[in-house]
Amino acid sequence: MSAAKLIEFNSLDADIQELIMASVEARNYSYSPYSNFKVGAALRSEDGIIYKGCNIENSSYSVTICAERTAIAKAVSEGKKKFVALATVADMDKIFVTPCGVCRQTIYEFGDIPVYLTKSTLGTVLVTSAKELLPFGFHLQDASA
């Protein structure tokens, strides 16, 4: 993948816009009573199916699950392991919110896929990749297997 770049939402391909809008929809289902910080993610599998996830908080913070891992868990639990893109959006309009370290490693487990990070305003999208987010990610096996 090339270096991260900023692209206007309206200039993205329709399938990427659809993926981003699915992440916005997923954010609406966030269970975040402690932080009130809502995050949504959408993951497109190789066959075109979109899996959505939101963050799910817990009063024991260490068992909270992020939106990205929720989407990945849903896809993997349906037998999908090859993905073409991931989009995330958070309740922030001034900065891009990137996946946490655990999510970066989880995304990287499934290959160097494009990652689209969006502010809540949906104006500009930061386009990056799993490898750019985690340049020295840990792998025991080939992610394409």
Q: Which of 8, 18, 46, 68 is catalytic?
A: 68
Place of tokens 């609406």: 28
* Kind of pairing between the strands at 114-118 and 83-90: parallel
How many residues are there in the chain? 145
57 flagged as catalytic: no
Q: Which residues lie closer than 8 Å to 1 by C-beta, 6 or more apart?
A: 112, 114, 128, 129, 131, 132
The tokens for 139 are 């792998």
Residues marked as catalytic: 68
